[in-house]
Structure 1
């Protein structure tokens, strides 16, 4: 099991505090009015954890975000993903999700691809804890879009390191 501390992300803590987001969302799963929701998380990358940028497996840890709308396209630019200790990723570029489409937010470094539905955090550190964590998804205006807390014991019955939400 890896133990993780907050990553030094410039301005992330200040931004969270400035938006009043710290502690604003309960630790349990919540339903919000948002087209985008967390579909699932590969919180424990297969294999032995190694956060080396070359040869590590952080790219195999990913969060799947899906557009559950039947008609509305959603631009991910400005959406934020955060964990329980405040590690934050902001979608900085346009990435349009068609209705029913999804994107995988991967750890590690790589080239974002609309065709492969992949966005990379450009950071080789793991973000999700292997034992328990909370995943927060925020809209560009700072309002919550979706939140899920998990524990390996309660939510990963088959022990494969992947948890599905919203089907």
Structure 2
């Protein structure tokens, strides 16, 4: 009887330790089951920040999304991008990404183009903070496709305002 208690206590301790280790893994370290992932972000547009629709530089702030599948074409319609405070952009129109293809989601106003691999947010306000932020990327089902948190000091070693993810 005493042996059972010892084994049960050891098993409970091991289980608690395993749960603790699993909880310690940061959310962005998890790989989500999505062909589409965030390839990089130009979170700090070059030059002095100006969110004027005419002459501003919000279109130089962009997020690059890549289709990492080798065989599947994916339509972006219904996918969402959010920042840490809830600013959200939803891909409302069809925009297909062939295997290995990518698209730049840019700030500012412009004409979306499959051929030019660009979609505009049709909003002249900046979405990404210049010091730190979190980028959430959701499938049309609401499931998370990818997520990345960044800080300028830790992730942008060369200080150019661009960070690469997933190679």
Question: Shorter-chain-normalised TM-score: which range?
Answer: 0.7 to 0.9
Say which structure, 1 or 2, has more relative contact order (CA 8 Å, 6+ apart).
1
**3-state SS in 2 of match to 1:85:** coil
**Bigger CA radius of gyration:** 2
1:4-15 aligned at under 5 Å gives the runs none
Say if 1:106 and 1:119, in contact at 8 Å, map to a contact too: yes
Normalising by structure 1, what TM-score? 0.83
Give 1:159 deviation, angstroms: 0.2
Q: What is the CA RMSD across the aligned residues, in angstroms?
A: 0.9
Alignment partners' CA distance in 2, 1:123 and 1:93: 16
Normalising by structure 2, what TM-score? 0.83
Number of the residue aligned with 1:56: 56
Say if 1:27 and 1:134, in contact at 8 Å, map to a contact too: no
Number of the residue aligned with 2:39: 39
Q: Deviations over 1:54-105 (max 9, x none)?
A: 0000000000000000000000000000000000000000000000000000
Alignment partners' CA distance in 2, 1:27 and 1:52: 35
Say if 2:32 and 2:144, in contact at 8 Å, map to a contact too: yes
Q: In the alignment, is residue 80 of structure 1 matched against residue 80 of structure 2?
A: yes
**3-state SS in 2 of match to 1:45:** coil
Q: In the alignment, is residue 159 of structure 1 matched against residue 159 of structure 2?
A: yes
**3-state SS in 1 of match to 2:65:** strand
Structure 1 gaps, min length 5: 1-25
Structure 2 gaps, min length 5: 1-25
Spell out structure 1 runs of 4+ moving beyond 3 A: 26-30
Q: Name the CA shift for 1:66/1:85 in 2 (closer, same or farther; >3 Å).
A: same
Say if 2:39 and 2:66, in contact at 8 Å, map to a contact too: yes
Give 1:27 deviation, angstroms: 5.7
**Larger helix fraction of residues:** 2
Give 1:29 deviation, angstroms: 4.3
1:132-147 aligned at under 5 Å gives the runs 132-147=132-147
